[in-house]
Amino acid sequence: MQTIPTIFRQDYCPYPFKISHLNLIFDLDAAHTHVHSEMLLTRVNPGSDLLLHADGLSLLSIHLDGRELSAVTDYVLNDDGLRVLNPPESFTLSIVTQTQPDQNSTLMGLYASNGNLFTQCEAEGFRKITYFPDRPDVMTQYTVELRADAEQYSVLLSNGNLVDEGVLDDGRHYAKWIDPFKKPSYLFALVAGKLVCQEEKFILASGREVLLQVWVEDGNLDKTQHAMESLKNSIRWDEQRFGLELDLDRFMIVAVSDFNMGAMENKGLNIFNTKYVLANSRVATDIDYANIESVVGHEYFHNWTGNRVTCQDWFQLSLKEGLTVFRDQEFSADMIGTDSGRAVSRIGDVRTLRQVQFSEDAGPMAHPVRPDSYVEINNFYTVTIYEKGAEVVRMYQTLLGRDGFRKGMDLYFARHDGCAVTCDDFRAAMADANGRDLAQFERWYSQAGTPVVTVKSHYDTDLQQYTLTLRQSCAPTPGQTDKSPFHIPVTVGLLDSNGQEMPLYLVGESSAQASCVLELTDIEQSFVFDRIPALPTPSLLRNFSAPVVLEYAYSDTELAHLLAHDSDAFNRWEAGQRLATQRLMQLIKSVQAGEALSLDSLYLEAVGLVLNDENLDPAFRELVLTLPSEAMLAELSAEIDPHAIHVAREYMRQQISAHMHKDFYQVYQANQTMGVYSPDAISAGKRGLKNLALAYLVSNDADEQMISLALTQVHEAQNMTDRLAALAVLVRTGDECAIEPLNDFYQDFADDALVIDKWFSLQASSPKTDVELVRQLMRHPDFNLHNPNRARSLIFSFCHANPVQFHAKDGSGYAFWAEQVLALNAINPQVAARLVRVLDHWRKYQPALQARMQDALLTVANSVGLSKDVQELVVKMLK
Ligand code: TRP
Ligand code: ZN
């Protein structure tokens, strides 16, 4: 392997030139596109040559103040850039480059998708379009002229406002766009193609009128309404919650089917994976609807948190991503509105965090929210940057209160609008706006790893005092052995024996609260509560107030008490999960020891109460009855045995199913949603609970009657949620009963790519689907490795969501993984690198599996032509 340079945060230097204006002209064509760029530069820091980035460009010409530069005396061209020697203090640079969009399978820079042209520039894609300082702290004003064939590329879009358009000769036309706001190159975008739009005029709170558009391929206009609604809701929400207004006259969303991630916040021209735009009840599930709302919100919210205030360098990525994820989470929760709805949405967020981020933090790719180094920045668009970053932002709100947090946001914008800043600047705004010292809080940005908070309690009957002693620790992570204590907000409440909230009088404080935030800043601290008449049950880390593992020696009866009564809905759910997890971990041990399996009635009774409590939200009941995933159990295992995990979890599902058969059947009948489909949280919650009941009813040894219940649902379903859920249940039986419904499903949706993705994914993730069947599905005419959604639907679903087959003892799953990593590496390194991460935890598996994983990793590591993306990961994993 060749060594690839590491970039260090410490090495940051401001760019020596200011660029006041960038004028771009594109002569667009899928085979050859010419890009004319003209920029006005002025030196702002003394020093050296002018460095411009490039990646795979052909330079056609370069002029400085009108004079053609010479490759012998004036500039040096190499693989990753262009160096102009001894430039003057102030000058104009004009460059013409050529690119080949239809040869670009990386989906970065300018590329073709279904005959249309799109760009993706974050993080470092602009350098595949033209020579430029492709770094977020170089901000400039863009003027963009697009020229292309008027028929094939009838729509020409870029950032900002359309200022001119017209016809050219040879059947071509042009459009000229000016973005009034200066921006970094990663926010540049253009779209050219045959597209249609749903549009609407919208009045902002200030009374100003703006134009909103959702652009899609012809034939998809019946699937844009939900994205448009979500956009309008996002605009309103940001006005109301943060006082932030849309700053452009026009805001566009464009859907593209070949896309590396979810969506991209380009100024005024957000580009989306079709998966996060297109929806109607026939093709999209409730989860799709919820995801669309959250991604539309996310990209829209970036307009202020990311675009108006951007990042100084890519180490600060969480400055925009963590903050914007926090904002989109709050938006989704507010859209549901009710307290229990907010809890349901919080539980969903915490589940991902624990399952994916905690395990990232415990593996070879563990990194701080603000990393100190990277090889390939694309590898750092991680759950740590996004989801843990969002938790870090949420902790400010927990510590400062909602109003205090808002004051901090206001000060952040007042100080930094139009600037490229750091995570320290954000923290300073929060501290200064509230007169708080948040120096220690910095460790959340600089130290990787998940802190463990161990709690011990003591009740003194004579003094009527209750003491909680909190102790924190954090395991070493790569490159960080000793950790200093974090500043951890731990929200607690105390329940009496009737399940009522006890008033909390912290010693020394006179006023009582129902819930209070303990601030743990030392390694160990005790907090004493006065006037506690009897031994309480502590409700700890309410609403998951910090991204930590909380350990407390709860008894089963305490957990059942919390599950039945806690006023904090998150902790009610949490208590149920603890009960389930303890049992599952015990069952896993029994499976490994070859012992007979059994499940006690305490658990069944406790969750049975919740299942049958019609005063509780259906969505909440569904969450309580959902067992921790196999991935979560793997994360909790000291040595992962995927087969024992699967057997144990299936056993527990069977037991729940058998003991509560009647209840599930009743719940199934009681939660039908009649009439016109609506994706609102209440209806979606009912469908979720009903379909969970169906899944329990059709367990492995299901009777004919239950199978036919599922078959009837497949046939009669009026929406994709119900049809897909019933189909999934049938596929998971591994029986012949699934064959016909699967074929029908394919026939009914053969021309809808996003639904065919579901069809692949459903089969790939079924524990009955082995690697041979996956290989067979790869030979299906609809399979295409170049399309990331399709690759994810089959390959990633198998490797991520089908642990028992992927970890087949003969290593056949790992051999498949290595093959696909290498195939993708040659096409699209970003997507390949995501697949590499499946084996992150290879050292935690049983020795026999470990050895086979190592073989697969070495196969990849020893291959020639590895991308930076893949190489960085395999090196770190094998270290
Ligand atoms: N900034 C985008 C977001 O979080 C995500 C993103 C980063 C992205 N790099 C990308 C999307 C590359 C697509 C391709 O919303
Ligand atoms: Zn984002």
Q: Do residues 501 and 514 make contact, with C-beta atoms less than 8 angstroms apart?
A: yes
Structure tokens at 26: 């594109």
**Angle at Cα 293 formed by Cα 787 and Cα 359, nearest 5°?**
65
Q: Do residues 764 and 793 make contact, with C-beta atoms less than 8 angstroms apart?
A: yes
Give per-residue burial for 797-810: e unless 16+ CB within 10 Å, then b: bbbbbbbbbbbbee
Structure tokens at 94: 């004009």
With the most atoms of ligand 1 within 8 angstroms of its CB, the residue from 127, 188, 257, 260 to mutate is: 260
Ligand 1 within 6 A of 124 CB?
no
Distance (Å) from CA 580 to ligand 2 centroid: 34
| Residue 700 pLDDT grade (very low, low, confident, very high; cuts 50, 70, 90) | low
Q: In angstroms, rounded to a whole number, what is the distance separating the alpha carbons of residues 422 and 312? A: 6
* pLDDT tens-digit map of 651-678: 999 999 999 999 999 999 999 999 999 9
Q: Of ligand 1's atoms, which has the minimum distance to the CA of residue 299?
A: 15
Distance (Å) from CA 297 to ligand 2 centroid: 10
Q: Is 248 left (phi over 0), alpha (psi -120 to 50) or beta?
A: beta
Residue 703: the pLDDT is 87
- Please state, rounded to an integer, the average pLDDT across all residues of the chain: 97
Distance (Å) from CA 122 to ligand 1 centroid: 6
Tell me which residue has tokens 């599950």: 563
Q: Is 405 left (phi over 0), alpha (psi -120 to 50) or beta?
A: alpha
Distance (Å) from CA 37 to ligand 1 centroid: 25
Angle of the 753-764 helix axis to the 771-778 helix axis, nearest 10: 160
Total Cβ atoms within 10 A of residue 321: 24
Average pLDDT over residues 311-324: 99
Structure tokens at 451: 């802190």
Q: Where are the beta strands (DSSP E) in 238-371?
A: 250-256, 263-264, 269-273, 310-311
Residue 4: the pLDDT is 86
Q: Whose CA is nearest to atom 6 of ligand 1?
A: 264
Ligand 1 within 6 A of 261 CB?
yes
Average pLDDT over residues 369-387: 98
Q: Which helix (H) or strand (E) holds 317?
A: helix 317-336
Handedness of CA 578, 580, 584, 586 (dihedral sign): positive
Average pLDDT over residues 673-696: 97
Ligand 1 within 6 A of 260 CB?
yes
Phi, psi of 299 (to 5 degrees): -65, -40
Question: By three-state DSSP, how is residue 44 classified?
Answer: coil
Q: Whose CA is nearest to atom 5 of ligand 1?
A: 264
Residue 512: the pLDDT is 86
Distance (Å) from CA 300 to ligand 2 centroid: 9
Residue 447: the pLDDT is 98
* Secondary structure of 812-840 in HEC code, one letter for each residue: HHHHHHHHHHHHHHHHCHHHHHHHHHHHC
Q: Of ligand 1's atoms, which has the minimum distance to the CA of residue 306?
A: 1
> CA-CA-CA-CA torsion for 55, 56, 57, 58, nearest 10 degrees?
150
Total Cβ atoms within 10 A of residue 847: 7
Q: Is the pLDDT of residue 176 over 70?
A: yes
Q: Of ligand 1's atoms, which has the minimum distance to the CA of residue 295?
A: 15
Ligand 1 within 6 A of 264 CB?
yes
Q: In angstroms, rounded to a whole number, what is the distance separating the alpha carbons of residues 110 and 118? A: 6
Q: Is the pLDDT of residue 505 over 90?
A: yes
* pLDDT tens-digit map of 262-308: 999 999 999 999 999 999 999 999 999 999 999 999 999 999 999 99
Radius of gyration for the chain, computed over Cα atoms and rounded to the nearest angstrom: 28
Residue 509: the pLDDT is 84
Question: By three-state DSSP, how is residue 177 classified?
Answer: strand
Residue 196: the pLDDT is 98
Distance (Å) from CA 521 to ligand 2 centroid: 30
Average pLDDT over residues 790-797: 98
Ligand 1 within 6 A of 574 CB?
no
Ligand 1 within 6 A of 69 CB?
no
Helix residue ranges, H only, 496-615: 556-565, 569-593, 601-611
Q: In angstroms, rounded to a whole number, what is the distance separating the alpha carbons of residues 446 and 369? A: 7
Q: Which one of the listed residues 299, 387, 558, 574 is annotated catalytic?
A: 299
Handedness of CA 341, 626, 285, 805 (dihedral sign): positive
Q: Whose CA is nearest to atom 10 of ligand 1?
A: 122
Question: By three-state DSSP, how is residue 113 classified?
Answer: strand
Distance (Å) from CA 826 to ligand 2 centroid: 27
* pLDDT tens-digit map of 739-767: 999 999 999 999 999 999 999 999 999 99
Q: What is the pTM of this model?
A: 0.98
Q: Which domains does the chain have, with CATH numbers?
A: 7-194 (2.60.40.1730), 749-879 (1.25.50.10)
Q: Whose CA is nearest to atom 3 of ligand 1?
A: 264
Distance (Å) from CA 298 to ligand 2 centroid: 6
Structure tokens at 45: 């820091």
* pLDDT tens-digit map of 433-466: 999 999 999 999 999 999 999 999 999 999 999 9
DSSP letters for 37-103: EEEEEEE-S----EEEE-SS-EEEEEEETTEEPPTTTTEEEETTEEEE-S--SEEEEEEEEEE-GGG
Q: Do residues 131 and 59 make contact, with C-beta atoms less than 8 angstroms apart?
A: yes
Closest CA to 4 of 873, 877, 878: 873
Total Cβ atoms within 10 A of residue 707: 18
Tell me which of 467-476, 490-499, 695-704 is least confident: 695-704
CA distances in angstroms from 755 to 67, 274, 474, 783, listed in the order given: 55, 11, 43, 13
Q: In angstroms, rounded to a whole number, what is the distance separating the alpha carbons of residues 22 and 838? A: 41
* pLDDT tens-digit map of 525-541: 999 999 999 999 999 99
With the most atoms of ligand 1 within 8 angstroms of its CB, the residue from 122, 269, 299 to mutate is: 122
| Residue 1 pLDDT grade (very low, low, confident, very high; cuts 50, 70, 90) | low
Q: Which helix (H) or strand (E) holds 443?
A: helix 443-446
Q: Do residues 244 and 304 make contact, with C-beta atoms less than 8 angstroms apart?
A: yes
Ligand 1 within 6 A of 263 CB?
yes
* pLDDT tens-digit map of 105-160: 999 999 999 999 999 999 999 999 999 999 999 999 999 999 999 999 999 999 99
| Residue 699 pLDDT grade (very low, low, confident, very high; cuts 50, 70, 90) | confident
Residues in the chain: 879
Q: Whose CA is nearest to atom 15 of ligand 1?
A: 264
Q: Is the pLDDT of residue 701 over 70?
A: no
Closest ligand relative to 322 C-alpha: 2
Tell me which residue has tokens 């743990």: 520
| Residue 356 pLDDT grade (very low, low, confident, very high; cuts 50, 70, 90) | very high
With the most atoms of ligand 1 within 8 angstroms of its CB, the residue from 110, 134, 186, 261 to mutate is: 261
> CA-CA-CA-CA torsion for 496, 500, 506, 512, nearest 10 degrees?
-150
Closest ligand relative to 189 C-alpha: 1
Q: Is the pLDDT of residue 850 over 70?
A: yes
Percent of the chain whose predicted confidence (pLDDT) is above 90: 97
Distance (Å) from CA 680 to ligand 1 centroid: 27
Q: Of ligand 1's atoms, which has the minimum distance to the CA of residue 386?
A: 4
Give yes or no: 299 in active site: yes
Structure tokens at 77: 């061209």
Ligand 1 within 6 A of 385 CB?
no
Q: Whose CA is nearest to atom 13 of ligand 1?
A: 261
* N-terminal to C-terminal alpha carbon distance within the chain: 14
Average pLDDT over residues 588-615: 97
Q: Whose CA is nearest to atom 1 of ligand 1?
A: 264
